[in-house]
Structure 1
Amino acid sequence: MASTRTLEIGGRRIGPDEPPYIIAEMSGNHKGDIRRTFSILEAAKAAGADAVKLQTYRADTITIDHHGPEFMVEGGLWAGRRLYELYEEAHTPWEWHPEIFARARDLGITVFSSPFDPTAVDFLESLDAPAYKIASPEIIDIPLIRKAARSGKPMIISTGMASLEEIEEAVAAARGEGNDDIVVLHCTAAYPAPPEEANLATLADLRKRLGVTVGLSDHTLGTTVATIAVALGAAVIEKHFTLARADGGVDSAFSLEPAELARLVEESAVAHAAVGAPAYEPTKSEASVLRNRRSLYVVAPVARGETLSHENVRSIRPGNGMKPKYLDAVIGRKAARDLAFGEPLDVSMIEGGLADVVAT
């Protein structure tokens, strides 16, 4: 199994030791208006997202214009709608893509896309797309994965609905084309997804089993689940994004608004920084409060040769004296000199020393 590695998209390093890579998924939230698309790019950039993701398909490349019952959506936000009609509304026109890529370059934000058939890969290659995202339903389309992987561009693969075997097959297909720049996004393909079905423990398991960088394609409401995922090792977070849910749109109900995306960026950075590394020594910020720990102090005057007792030696704050664990060894010993009230107890103050005890 290959080890987890750092990869790059648009010059941005992505991996377990890098800040979380935040993707704003536009999907159909452009509502058929390229000006709104540009506004979404600008808002995502202002919020601090690293990338905006498109979806590259046409209704006739993802389904067929059929009225049969199996071509009707059952349940969820789009219940009762025909697939062809839904995709006709939601797709991002291909003629917009060059302008979207150009505007993103001007803004300094990365744009890439999910291709849904081989012609979409060819089209995106002509635009020099920096990465490819395989959407959850397409994870079983091994020929599509192989074609995208042959580009040599980083591959981001969502796992919604997939079995472990299907996920392994998809990753193996990409690696079989010599492409090991792979991110696997754990995903619950429900819209919106209930938090209790997020199963974020899967992140660590995927990383261990597959040796890939992992992330989360999150359809829960709000930012809580995504932020937790970062703390659990997600190097990439993808969330649907819109200018305002009240504006409507096929994905608006479970999309973040600009202020929420900005909060996700901030909270994800904090979560990543908070994970840190195993640490069992005082941190820099703890150094100033170390003195507040308890230690052994002289709490009543003691004459030279006098016996140390619980009446004249106690464990108190601050922490400038011997550690409290030595109290039992100290009691009953003789003072090597006069000891003043309020002095921190030191080995040199004890007749004969305590080298045998302190050494332990």
Structure 2
Amino acid sequence: MNKLYQQLTVVFFLVGINSGFAQVTNLSPEDFKAVNIGYNTLGDYTKSVILLHEVYDGVKIGKNFAIGEVCAIRGSQVSNNRTNLAFVNTSSGYTHIEGGLTSFNSDGVWKLKLVMYQGKKYLALDVPYRPDYHSSGFRFKGWTKSTGENMKWIAYENRGIPVNQDVLLIVGDYSPNVTEYHDYACSVFYGHVGIGTQSPNSYMLAVNGTIRAKEIKVEANWADFVFKGDYSLRNLTEVEEFIIENGHLPDIPTEKEVKAEGISLGEMNSKLLQKIEELTLYAIQLKKDNQTLVEKQNQQEEVLVLQKEEIKTQKVKLVALEDLDLRLQAIEKFMNQK
């Protein structure tokens, strides 16, 4: 089996080396082929597509498919190297279209497109663009069949100027509707991974979209330093002044910074915990202050009770003095009459 595959691969790369377009070698029955798709005839600064096969366009259609690999290459002693490889799995028959694509590239990315060519609708591969073109052309190996054009290269722009507009119309991107499965005990990636983005940059995993998970574990430093004796806790007046001046909490990034740079989940959780622990210290201090106020209030109430009792005693004494004064006045009046 391996020997047969090696032989097929040699045939695939050697077929049609002497230029020419869509030279086909049948490698086995049932449309398994090696196809010399041809060359970029316009040279550098060219954008192009490869027509894979015709697809359903409102009228029932026969069997069309492309299952295999497309290679594109460039390079010599006097020119830059380019290698691009795409694995296609597309088909259309009756009233249905389906397809998916996996590619390996040193630049750009292969994309599935829907195009109109000479009045027929096709699934096509958008060739990864770079100014220096694939001088060694394009090859396909796999199962393929079309009721129209099959594995045909055609340009749609050269040096910024549209070409072939009389026969070719790019309808738009084709949204893949097949699923790729990986059934392994473990998958290991040593490079950067982008999901929904071609630019993960320095991130090992970059996702342009939402993520759903049952659990995410993040390794991070924690904020228990807040509870150490040497931690300098701002008083609430200082915090208020900072918020008025800056519009955000101390040690927390601004809205502008978050929109531009995002947040580190571990670091941000640590900062939020720091603020929670600071709030806890404020609450403890407020409780102590409140307890002190309660104790002072209780003391004042005790003094007030004593003062009320003293006032009551003084009132009794005052009544007694008033009664004594009345008696003295009566005695004095009696003595004066004698």
Q: TM-score range by the shorter chain?
A: under 0.3
Report the TM-score when normalising by structure 2: 0.26
TM-score (structure 1 length as normaliser): 0.25
Higher alpha-carbon Rg = 2
Pick the structure with more strand per residue: 2
